[in-house]
Amino acid sequence: MQITLVDSANLFRLVHFFDILAAVVFAVSGALVASRKGMDVMGFMWFAVITGVGGGTVRDLILNVPVFWVQNPAHVSACLVTAVVMHFVAPLVESRYKTHLWFDAFGLALFCITGALKAAEFGLSPVPAALMGMVTGIGGGMIRDVLAGRVPAVFRGELYATPALAGAAIVVVGDRLGFPIGVVAVLGGGTCLVWRLLAMWRHWQAPMPTGSASV
């Protein structure tokens, strides 16, 4: 029982660490969008925070629980620090769009793990828990894209939501089957990340309507 307690505390710390890491990674991706738009330091901060905590906010609103960053300012603080650092570093990054896509893919993989674990912990059955993992992963980027005035990546050609859903589903099922959380997280997150990167590299697309001639 002592061991379980330690494990559970470690698990909590691990999930919390990955969750803040995901927020930082998405904050980098948001700050790179602000950089491409030529914004000032406030714009960097806004895009970093909104992209970093947006997905979890949508998840918490839908689950009807208090929004996580109202209780604990760790995520928001981490995003703000990221924004200030990016403010000095971003203009040096040569191809900001490609870098942004890499960070976005990494954040997607991390958030679909932590979002699914949180929803499962909250008592949701597997299907909604996996959906909530996906929502946590894609929500922040969707809000970022709507505010930046472009069509969210989810609706553009490449595979985006499917890898997130697959990763979250692996985490939920593995957790149910009693696999160690570290193994499950690496498997789920790895699947999401590799799939997304391959889709970016090979321009994989979901099937198009047969008679489609886009109007």
CA distance 183 to 150: 37
Q: Which is nearer to a copy of itself, 45 or 185 (CB)?
A: 45
Q: Among residue numbers 119 through 178, which ones bind a copy of itself (CB under 8 A)?
A: 124, 127-128, 131, 146-149, 151-152, 154-155, 157, 159-162
When the beta carbons of 152 and 179 are compared against a copy of itself, the nearer one is 152
CA distance 97 to 101: 6
What is the size of the binding site for a copy of itself (CB under 8 A)?
58
- Note whether 94 binds a copy of itself by CB under 8 A: no
Candidates 7, 12, 91, 203; binder of a copy of itself (CB under 8 A) is: 91
Where does this chain bind a copy of itself (CB under 8 A)? 34-44, 46-47, 57, 61-67, 70, 73, 76, 87-88, 90-92, 96, 124, 127-128, 131, 146-149, 151-152, 154-155, 157, 159-162, 205-215
